[in-house]
Structures are given as C-alpha cells and as structure tokens.
A and B are shown apart, each in its own frame.
Chain A
Amino acid sequence: AQRVTQPEKLLSVFKGAPVELKCNYSYSGSPELFWYVQYSRQRLQLLLRHISRESIKGFTADLNKGETSFHLKKPFAQEEDSAMYYCALSGQGAQKLVFGQGTRLTINP
C-alpha cells in the first residue's frame, strides 16, 4: 500500500531561518515523490519532483530510500514561502497520486 506521512501539521519559522518540512513514505516498489504547494486562495501546483533533482524557489528535496524520506528544505526562508505544502507519491507505472496530510508553513517577519 502507498502511504505518505507528514508529521508536522504546522511549522512556523522566522524569515531568513532554515526550514525543513518532513515527509516519510511507505511503498514496496520504486516510488516517484513530489512536493506540491498551495498558496493562499490558489490552486495546488507542483513545486518539485525527485526525478528532476531541481532547486525550485530555493527549495530542494532528496529522496532517501534507506530512511524512506523526502524532506523539503530551504536554507533561508522568505515570507512568500508561507503556504500549505503537500508531499505526494506515485507508484511505479501508476498514474494516481497519494498525498500526505500537508504542512502549513508560516514564515514570520
């Protein structure tokens, strides 16, 4: 079964501080992992995916198969990073996405 766990419902950090949003997953095969972001009053949008290994808006995420984790990190948080963040998993060859519970990130000035 596919499962994604985001242990923190809320996370609050000060501007300029590092931020890490945790994501752990459970999947027996080779998963594809994603981070989605939802800014206030906007639709869900893709932030990054582990396959692309890109840094988007200063965020990075590394897939750690040993720890079954895909934590999202940014060294210096900005106020515009305040949003809801969802970790998601897609099974190998599958089309559907399974989402974690989401973490609401608040960046304090």
Chain B
Amino acid sequence: GAVVSQHPSWVICKSGTSVKIECRSLDFQATTMFWYRQFPKQSLMLMATSNEGSKATYEQGVEKDKFLINHASLTLSTLTVTSAHPEDSSFYICSARHPAPDSSGNTIYFGEGSWLTVV
C-alpha cells in the first residue's frame, strides 16, 4: 500500500530556534499534502494544505509566517516551525493524497507523526 513517512519522529529544540519536519510520499507522487496538529488527548486540527509548486493554503488562525510550508517536489513537503516556543510543542501529522483511489476508494494516507518539544 501507499506509504507516507515523516522525519524526524521526534525532536527537541530550544526556544527561539527553527525546526523542520519532512513529509514524504515514498511510493507515489502527491500533488497535495496536508499538515495537522494534534494536542495531547485532542483531535487533529488542520493547519494547511500544501500544494506542489504553489503556496500553501492556511486554515484560519494559523500563522503562515510561523509555520512555513514548502512543497517543492511531488514527494516531499516540509513544515518549518520558526522561532519555536514551548506552546508550539505538539504532535504534527501529515497526510498525502494519492492520485488513484485504492479498492475501497481511499486516496488519503497519513504519516506516523512527529513529536515536537520546545524547551
């Protein structure tokens, strides 16, 4: 089946620094990827839609200058948290849209998530 991989799985960074999280579609090309944020024991909150070759579309309330998204190739989208602060600590999940549906019609595949802790 289609595989989406995130790297790193977990990262600790100091306040004020920037940290980059990668989302890769390993065996398919994804023109669209999505970035979610999940606080402990809470739901996934869509942050932005990442479109290959164009600017990301951010959800209301998400600071685009804070959370930089780049989708430079059909298999890679990156989320950079700039000037990170402890309140940015969270679980970040990406998903990628496969160009062809599987036998059940599914086209969305999720990465394993990345834990960010800002100290």
Contact = CB atoms under 8 A, between A and B. Distances in A.
Nearest to B36: A99
B105 A51 contact: yes
A52 interface: yes
A49 B46 contact: no
Contacts, number: 48
Interface string A55-83: 01000000000000000000000000000
Interface of A: 9, 42-46, 48-49, 51-52, 54, 56, 86, 95-102
Interface of B: 32, 34, 36, 41-46, 49, 93, 95, 97, 104-106, 108, 110-113
Given A43-B93, A46-B104, A96-B46, 17 more contacts: A43-B110, A43-B111, A43-B113, A45-B110, A48-B104, A49-B106, A51-B105, A52-B105, A86-B43, A95-B32, A95-B49, A95-B97, A97-B108, A99-B36, A99-B43, A101-B42, A101-B43
